[in-house]
Amino acid sequence: MSTRVTSLTLSGIDQLPAHARRCVFWEMDPGAVRGARDFCDPEFEKEAWLSMVMLQWGSCAQLATVDDKPAGCAFYAPPNMVPRAQLFPTSPVSADAILLTSMRIEPYADDLDLGSQLIRAVVDDLVRRNVRALEAFGIRATDDAEQNSGVPTATAALDCSPLECMIPADFLEDMGFEVVAPHPRFPRFRLELNRDHGWKEEVEAALDRLIEAASITIAELDGSRTPVGAR
């Protein structure tokens, strides 16, 4: 089973999972959605938003695939490009931060730890872009019917809602985010970014490759030596 996480491109929008292609919970003002409910095409609006952000700012999503099949995704963008970012009781997002808006894992990939891989990919991308911090509005369940400690999956109804389209607070805490604006329902979290996030793994991988290459060279040299006394 081959798992990959790559930055979303304009040509790859149609590879997004079904809900992610149509969800405009973050991308449209709630008032505009209600006013245009009868003639709004969510998939068109989502693609228009993605195109706008990618052209003005750059890639704003990471896509996880398993054997080339869409398995999960994470979206992030400057908060001034996210209409709903201003509407929470814990708004606004800090001026030096990028907002992680949503994350989804397809049901068949629940056991593959894709959530942490997607966060890692988002962090690595933002570190390369010299972003100082990543923030997110988490959601806490308010009753037994809403208990969900993992990333929202696509088994739920496609209708957008806070519980369906926001990231559970427990997951953000597990990923190392810290609460910077407490709230019983919608706390705001922050993850400080620095170049060590990406460089440490890259340096370790480079050292491993050097050690492996050196071992192969030594083995080849040993194999090519002619024993003393041999003809």
Regarding whether 121 and 72 lie in a shared domain, the answer is yes
Regarding whether 43 and 73 lie in a shared domain, the answer is yes
- State the number of CA atoms in the 13 A half-sphere of 45 facing the CB: 18
Regarding whether 144 and 208 lie in a shared domain, the answer is no
> Is pLDDT of 82 > 80?
yes
Distance CA 19, CA 208 (A): 40
For every residue of the chain, DSSP letters joined together read: --EEEEE--GGGGGGS-HHHHH--TTTS-HHHHHHTTTT--HHHHHHHHHHHHHHHT---EEEEEETTEEEEEEEEE-GGG-GGGGSSTTPPPPTTEEEEEEEEE-GGGGGGTHHHHHHHHHHHHHHHTT--EEEEEEE---SGGG---S--BTTS-SS--HHHHSEEHHHHHHTT-EEEE--SS--EEEEE--THHHHHHHHHHHHHHHHHHHHHHHHHHHHHPPPTT--
Percent of the chain predicted with pLDDT > 70: 74
Regarding whether 220 and 168 lie in a shared domain, the answer is no
Range name among 15-29, 83-97, 159-173, 189-203 with the lowest pLDDT average: 189-203
Regarding whether 227 and 185 lie in a shared domain, the answer is no
Residue corresponding to tokens 């009868």: 38
Q: What is the pLDDT of residues 16-26, one digit of tens each?
A: 999 999 999 99
Which two tokens mark 15? 């590879």
- Would you say how long the chain is, in residues? 231
Regarding whether 204 and 124 lie in a shared domain, the answer is no
Regarding whether 74 and 36 lie in a shared domain, the answer is yes
Regarding whether 217 and 151 lie in a shared domain, the answer is no
Regarding whether 112 and 63 lie in a shared domain, the answer is yes
Regarding whether 135 and 30 lie in a shared domain, the answer is yes
Regarding whether 200 and 190 lie in a shared domain, the answer is no
Distance CA 75, CA 59 (A): 9
User: Domain count of the chain?
Assistant: 2
Q: What is the pLDDT of residues 26-80, one digit of tens each?
A: 998 876 655 555 567 889 999 999 999 999 999 999 999 999 899 999 999 999 9
What CATH number does residue 26 fall under? 3.40.630.30
CA distances 210 to 202, 204, 215, 219, Å, are: 12, 10, 9, 14
What's the sign of the alpha-carbon dihedral 166, 70, 125, 203?
Answer: positive
Q: pTM of the predicted model, to two decimals?
A: 0.78
* Long-range pairs for 196-205: beta carbons < 8 A, 24 or more residues apart: 197/123, 197/124, 197/127, 198/123, 198/124, 198/127, 198/128
**Domain boundaries, position 102:** 3-194
Regarding whether 96 and 156 lie in a shared domain, the answer is yes
